[in-house]
Amino acid sequence: MKYHVGRPNIGSRSDLHRYLDEILDSRWLTNGGQFVERFEEGIKHVTGVKHAVAVCNATTGLQVLAKCLDLSEEVIMPSHTFISTPHAFSWIGLKPVFCEVDPETHNIDPNRLKSLISDNTSAIVGVHLWGRPAPIAQLEQIAESRHLQLIFDAAHAFGCTRNGKHIGNFGDAEVFSFHATKFVNSFEGGVVVTNDDGLAGKLRLVRNYGFIDDGNLIGNGTNAKLSEIHAAMGVVSLEMMSRIMEWNVSCHFLIRESLKEVGVKIVEYDEEEQNNFQYFIVEVDNRDERMRQLQEMNVLAKRYFWPGCHRMSPYLLEDIVLPITEELQERVLVIPLGIANSDKLLKAVTEVLA
């Protein structure tokens, strides 16, 4: 058996099949049907936000959000993130400006961010890496003082909290991913969440070409809608969310206990907060060799996010140097979690990382 990072969690097949029959019987397959509405309501229920706007994926969600906020020129973000974060903005003509991260939290370093702000900066993009919140309060203070928009790539952080408040309620808006690899998934999909009534209205217009109703176009837009079958999978996944989180917690602490005497650095979560424990991350020497050994034992550990966005095309042309980020990206190893894991995985991880 092979153990995968991000192996999809599958909810109730019988419920999904029943929902599919309802969709087919209604012949309402897309364009904001009942399951998109149910999915959005479920997101609002979990997070406590006022508005949840479902989109076809989180990358498109970031782009729709950027358009609705009228972002221009430069946006500051960490390089220690999945390539979709800078690509989302670069693809629509904005320039990602990469910031160094804190070596302990792996999140954007607000102290280093200040020196990157210029007259061309329109927004700060925080990333809640591994589901651990970015330095929200500091970023909010900087954004407010410099009159910048603040948005969060919350792809990893659905179900997580900061000071007891759910991720989704910070900045101007946040974007969740419900890609198949996320612990709650809609096959492929995303949701933009905000407490701003006006922004929510714009998001709903832009995701559907700018139509306010059937045939009445009041602005420009794109096709960022989520289909009914994707939303139905999201509903099924939300219905088993608590079970998945309980399993992740169990797996996390089993692996952590098995590594107690090994001496590797484990990226910890704040146990005073709610966490989805979607990832188990360690920092190790000789990372690539240890990854190879684990993969030979069918434990398909991965290096995230190597070699770093700033060292990938097209961004490497700018010759950016981020030493803390680069060191992390040579040490970080992500271990598989999830419902399919077993004692065999624990034994393999302990042997290789010892």
pLDDT at 342: 63
pLDDT over threshold 80, residue 214: no
Q: Please compute the mean of the pLDDT values over residues 226-232 and round it to a whole number.
A: 98
Range from 224-233, 266-275, 306-315, 340-349 carrying the lowest mean pLDDT: 340-349
Quick check: 178 pLDDT over 70?
yes
Whether 251 has a pLDDT exceeding 90, the answer reads no
Q: What are the residues facing 302 on neighbouring strands?
A: 334
Q: Is the pLDDT of residue 3 over 90?
A: no
| Fold of the CATH domain 240-353 | Aspartate Aminotransferase, domain 1 (3.90.1150)
The rounded distance, in Å, linking the Cα atoms of 164 and 340 is 30
pLDDT at 298 over 80: yes
pLDDT over threshold 70, residue 339: no
Given pLDDT bands bounded at 50, 70 and 90, which one contains residue 338?
low
- Return the pLDDT at 293: 96
343 or 161, higher pLDDT: 161
CATH number of 13-239: 3.40.640.10
pLDDT value, residue 222: 96
Q: Give pLDDT, residue 316.
A: 86
Residue spans per domain, the chain:
13-239, 240-353
pLDDT confidence bin for 215, thresholds 50/70/90: confident
| pLDDT (0 to 100) of residue 63 | 98
**What is residue 225's predicted lDDT score, i.e. its pLDDT?**
98
Q: How many CB atoms lie within 10 A of CB 273?
A: 16
Query: Which stretches of the chain are assigned E, i.e. beta strand?
Result: 3-4, 51-55, 74-78, 95-99, 121-127, 149-153, 161-162, 165-166, 173-177, 190-194, 211-213, 216-217, 265-266, 280-283, 299-300, 332-335
- Does the pLDDT value for residue 340 go beyond 60? no
pLDDT band at 317 (very low <50, low <70, confident <90, very high): confident
pLDDT of residue 2: 86
